[in-house]
Structure formats: C-alpha cells, structure tokens
Copies of this chain bind each other. A is one copy, B any other.
Amino acid sequence: MCEQCNYKELLKSVHLEPTEKRLRVLEVIGNNTFPLSASDIHDTLDRNQSINRVTVYRILDLLVDKKIVDRISTGGRAAYYGLGPNEHHQAHPHFYCKSCGQMDCLNPGAMAVEMSNFKKTFPGRIDKLELRLDGICKNCLKKTIN
C-alpha cells in the first residue's frame, strides 16, 4: 500500500518507540494493498513468530490512536485496519464485499465529498469521516454467489 513509507520513521514521528512488534504489525498492514482484520493480522504474524492476540489489539489501538492506522468498519462487528492518510497517500473510500468479506480501497477521486463548508457551520467537532460502499465485488458476481 505504501512502499515509500519508512515504518520506523512513521512510529518515531508520533513519538512511539519503534519496537519490534509494533514494526511487524505496521509492516503487515502497510504491505497489503487492502485493509485487514485484526485476526488476519494476528494470523499473519503468528505464522512466522509467536505474538499474542491481545498484544495485536493493543498495538492496533495505539496506532489508530496516533492516526498512523485507520480503523474501517465493515458494518458488521469486525473492524479492518489500513494505513492512515499520510504524505504518500490520501484518505479514500472503501468497498466491502458482503459475499467474500474482502475490503478494498477505492480511488480517492472516485467520489467527491463536500466537507469544508459543512465543517464550518457544524456545532460539534468532526474528527473523522467514514465512507463505505457495501455490495458484491466483481469476482463474487461472476460466481453468482449473490
């Protein structure tokens, strides 16, 4: 997703020690072109070298908190995780296939969201905009799994 990103620097930039496990979690997320679930991430890491489930959740919370990583809702219970917007890539909408459970990133220009004017008059504080399209991806459509 972001080959230009130096994960070590990324962690340092938000005042997080670039510990081995944090780096490994961030690498798994960053080396994918689409967001992953927490258990995807845990499974990937655990296959190579043991890491606790709770540690994965704690690191994810930390990274989301520091806005290095974005938590994307599926509309269901599990959240997906992808690299957050940074100098190398913009915020973008997501497509979630209800059939195969794949979460995909869409082109940031795929849809225009008029926010700036709205933000000015909104009485509360807006921290995040989450935009997700739900449907059936082209592979699942082919298989007519519906």
Contacts and interface: CB of A to CB of B under 8 A. Distances in A.
Contact of A127 (B71, B125, B135): B135
B124 A97 contact: yes
Interface in A104-129: 110-115, 118, 122-129
Interface residues of A, number: 36
A104 to B, nearest CB: 9
A44 interface: no
Nearest to A94: B130
Interface stretch (A4-12, A20-28, A30-38, A72-80): A72-80
Interface of A: 71, 73-77, 79, 95, 97-98, 110-115, 118, 122-138, 140-141
